[in-house]
Amino acid sequence: MNSKELFEKAKELFPGGVNSPIRAAVKPYPFYVKKAEGAILTTVDGDELIDYVLAYGPLILGHQHPRVKEAVEEQLELGWLYGTPYEAEIKLAEKIISHFPSIDMVRFVNSGTEATVTAIRLARGYTKRKKIIKFDGCYHGSNDSLLVKAGSAVSHYGVPGSAGIPEELSRLTLVVPFNDVETTEKVAKENQDDLAAIIVEPVMGNAGVILPKDNFLKELRRIADDVGALLIFDEVITGYRLGLGGAQARYNVIPDITTLGKIIGGGFPVGAVGGKKEIMEYLAPSGPVFNAGTFNAHPVTMIAGLATISELERDYVYETANSAAHAVVKAIEQELVSKFGGVVNHIASMFQWFPKVEKVENYSDAQKADRALIERLHTELLKRGVFIAPSMFEAWFTSAAHASDIVERTIDVISEVAKVLQA
Ligand code: PMP
């Protein structure tokens, strides 16, 4: 069956035809993958696509990296699920602790969502307070406490929050604009006796890409300390994407709790919560805050994560991924920004173009950009063999597999599409 036929069938089986909403936004219908290798996805329709989505962030080495594949194959020979501790989890935790300045201890879970659910519960349990500050347009997974004014597919589909979350719970989540120190401080002070945590994507990656202004993250650290709340960095995207120590090492700001996911599982389901020992020991079984999981620290994930991070310790990965991003950004600026205006926000190997606006420093700036143009860009690129996210509220990602020939092909397609696209 081809993609069109498969999707017709899928619509009978899954709400909206998919198992995660953004997948349905690929136009005219989602393609089904036959296989993936390096930077290339091959569809069941026989098309070859250069992949700038990379499963929404995890695949910084590209698809089927030989070191990861080899490690996983070796692991399969030993079994794949034990329900008991396994040495690889110690090795992976040691790596993460060595790279992330804020992390002394780790709890592995199965997704970024589980990581933020656990981090919020931990912050509430530790501080014995209830309220949370989050930033407009930041997405922290499908987490009841944080699905308020969220980015990613929540923005794409224009869902202001989500049905099914009691208002009593949403009221505990206070939403302020990213990069706005004054408002954050005001709201934090007003709620000081009951503020458990400030949670932030240190670089926003779910409303396009939005960078923190000069001292924004340092100011969040100060405000959290002033009111006795914990600072949580959600580094599910930025962890290992911006470098070995994530955003916290890059911006030199140390949160109390860090959530990780995506890259640390090497392409297998994963999440992690990390932080200072004193806080982490509030988690069961050493403390009163509960978290558990049949699949926590899954052996295959641990092995794949370990192989991935070991590869990241070699310079070529960041060099290749970052220079690919740089070249594609330059092409977008030359071919698209010159014609339609706008700004490309870019850091390391993640970026997004916001057409027709001069700057994007927060979510309301992002909303003023021409999102329909990005959706048309997605469609036109896809027709010519380049796959980008179908929404402006996501990021382009590059990987170690985005070698110069792949980048050159992409740039040719971008200049061809620039001629076709109309304002
Ligand atoms: N936090 C951030 C910053 C994310 O980008 C995401 C997913 N895109 C999540 C949390 C949720 O992760 P998951 O999809 O693995 O549940």
Residue 310, CA distances (Å) to 92, 176, 264, 282 in order: 10, 38, 11, 30
Ligand 1 probe mutation, 53, 60, 139, most atoms within 8 A of CB: 139
| Domain-ending residue, one of 270, 297, 312 | 312
Strands 131-135 and 195-200: parallel
Q: Are 273 and 100 in contact (CB under 8 A)?
A: no
Together in a domain, 88 and 205: yes
> ipTM for the complex?
0.99
pLDDT: which is higher, 162 or 16 = 16
* Per-residue pLDDT at 314 exceeds 90: yes
Do 150 and 83 lie in one domain? The reply is: yes
- Cα separation, 125 vs 286, in Å, equals 13
The confidence band for 157, taking pLDDT boundaries of 50, 70 and 90, is confident
What is the pLDDT, as a whole number, of residue 63?
Answer: 98
In the annotation, is 144 catalytic?
Answer: no
- The model's confidence at residue 86, banded by pLDDT at 50, 70 and 90, is very high
Q: In this predicted model, what pLDDT tens digit does every residue of 321-352 receive, in sequence order?
A: 999 999 999 999 999 999 999 999 999 999 99
Residue whose CB lies within 8 A of the most ligand 1 atoms, among 23, 109, 140, for a mutation test: 140
Q: In CATH, what number is assigned to the domain containing residue 359? A: 3.90.1150.10
Same domain, 232 and 374: no
Looking at per-residue pLDDT, the higher value among 90 and 315 belongs to 90
Please, are residues 392 and 352 in contact by the beta-carbon 8 Å criterion? yes
- Of 180, 234, 365, 370, catalytic: 234
What is the identity of the amino acid at 50? I
Q: Is 195 helix (H, G, I), strand (E, B) or coil?
A: strand
Closest atom of ligand 1 relative to the 206 alpha carbon: 5
pLDDT at position 48 over 90: yes
Pairwise CA distance, residues 287 & 278, whole Å: 10
For residue 201, what are the CA distances in angstroms to 39, 88, 211, 230? 26, 28, 10, 14
Ligand 1 near 263 CB (within 6 A): no
The pLDDT tens digits of the residues spanning 89-113 come to 999 999 999 999 999 999 999 999 9
Average pLDDT, the chain: 96
Please give the average per-residue pLDDT across 17-30, as a whole number. 96
Q: Could you tell me the distance, in angstroms and rounded to a whole number, from the CA of residue 295 to the centre of ligand 1?
A: 18
Among 266, 284, 312, give the residue marking a domain's end: 312
Same domain, 182 and 210: yes
CA 116 – CA 147 distance, rounded (Å) = 11
Residue with tokens 């930077």: 39
Q: Exactly one of 136, 262, 318, 370 is catalytic; name it.
A: 262
Which parts of 277-315 fold into alpha helices (H)? 277-280, 299-312
Catalytic residue among 52, 56, 86, 139: 139
Number of domains in the chain: 2
List, for residues 127-154, the tens digit of each pLDDT value. 999 999 999 999 999 999 999 888 877 7
Write the single-letter amino acid at 257: I
Distance from C-alpha of 227 to C-alpha of 204, rounded to nearest angstrom: 24
Which pLDDT does position 159 carry in this prediction? 66
pLDDT given for residue 423 in this prediction: 67
Tell me: do 303 and 375 sit in the same domain: no
Is the domain of 292 the same as that of 158? yes
Rounded to an integer, the average pLDDT of 168-191 is: 96
Alpha carbon distances (Å) from 176 to 58, 66, 247, 254? 28, 44, 20, 21
Is 56 a known active-site residue? no
Task: Give the Å distance between the CA of 323 and the centre of ligand 1.
Answer: 25
Contact criterion met (CB below 8 Å) for 121 and 282:
no
Q: Are residues 72 and 55 in the same domain?
A: no
Burial of residue 269 (CB within 10 Å: 0-12, 13-18, 19+) is middle
214, 172: one domain: yes
Report which DSSP code applies to 283. Answer: B
Determine the distance separating the centroid of ligand 1 and the alpha carbon of 173, expressed in angstroms: 18
Mean pLDDT of 59-65: 98
234 lines ligand 1 (CB under 6 A): yes
Q: Are residues 169 and 94 in the same domain?
A: yes
Question: Tokens 């396994």 correspond to what residue?
Answer: 86
Q: What's the pLDDT score for residue 342?
A: 98
- Return the residue whose CA atom lies nearest to atom 7 of ligand 1: 141
**N- to C-terminal Cα separation, the chain:** 36
Q: Residue 27: what pLDDT? A: 87
- Mean pLDDT, to the nearest integer, of 248-263? 98
- Residue 167: what pLDDT? 87
What b/e sequence results for 57-71 when a residue is b if at least 16 CB atoms lie within 10 Å of its CB, and e otherwise?
Answer: bbbbbbbebebbeeb
Lowest-confidence segment of 161-165, 218-222, 412-416 by average pLDDT: 161-165
My answer on whether 242 and 143 are in the same domain is: yes
Is 138 found in the same domain as 263?
yes
Predicted structure pTM score: 0.98
Contacts of 276 (CB under 8 A, 6+ apart): 102, 104, 105, 256
Task: Please tell me the distance from the alpha carbon of residue 93 to that of residue 20, in angstroms, as a whole number.
Answer: 29
Mean pLDDT, to the nearest integer, of 257-264?
A: 98
Give per-residue pLDDT as tens, 355-383.
999 999 999 999 999 999 999 999 999 99
Q: CB under 8 Å to 324, separation ≥6 — which residues? A: 349, 398, 399, 402, 403, 404, 406, 407
pLDDT(194) > 80: yes
Mutation test residue for ligand 1: of 145, 206, 296, 352, the one with most atoms within 8 Å of CB? 206
Phi, psi of 132 (to 5 degrees): -130, 140
32 is catalytic: no
Residue located nearest, by CA, to atom 1 of ligand 1: 140
Residue-number span of the structural domain to which 46 is assigned: 3-64+315-420
User: Does 75 sit in the ligand 1 pocket, CB within 6 Å?
Assistant: no
Per-residue model confidence (pLDDT) at position 234: 98
241 and 385 co-located in one domain: no
Residue 155 pLDDT exceeds 80: no
Q: Which of 312, 328, 363 is the last residue of a domain?
A: 312
Is the distance from the beta carbon of residue 56 to the nearest atom of ligand 1 less than 6 Å? yes
CATH number, domain with residue 250 = 3.40.640.10
